[in-house]
Amino acid sequence: MDFDEAVRLIRQKDGRYQPQAYDVVRLGLDHAQKLIHGEPKKGKSIVNRHVSGPQLLEGFRQHVLETYGPMSYPLLHNWGLRKSADVGNIVFNIIETGLFGRSPEDNLADFKDVYDFKDVFLKPFEPKSG
């Protein structure tokens, strides 16, 4: 099953998030894996490139800000991503399809209240007062 098919099946059961939300979380995971483990080596099989919930959220934050800049907050909001726990919900939805792996210590609670979306995706672009 490819990623788009997995998202289609997930959304039949859980329609809270738009397909773009799944794409941006997947790209945020890729970014987090590069931050933590470096670039994958050419010709080598991919070994464990696991990241924790907070590590994934940091990669997600960086990817979103670098890609969407001032449009980050409204786009995420439009796609159904309003808090860090939403990223966790998407990750665990994908895990259930078998496309993402998990370690025994991974928990949905790892994504809860890691940061406030307004603080990280909206405030950096607000005019400075004073």
Q: Which residues of the chain have pLDDT under 50?
A: none
Q: What is the pLDDT of residue 130?
A: 66
Provide the b/e sequence for 75-102 (b: ≥16 CB within 10 Å).
bbeebbbebbbbbbbbbebbeeeebbee
Query: Which tokens go with 64?
Result: 């979103």
Is the pTM higher than 0.75? The answer reads yes
Helix (H, G, I), strand (E, B) or coil at 128: coil
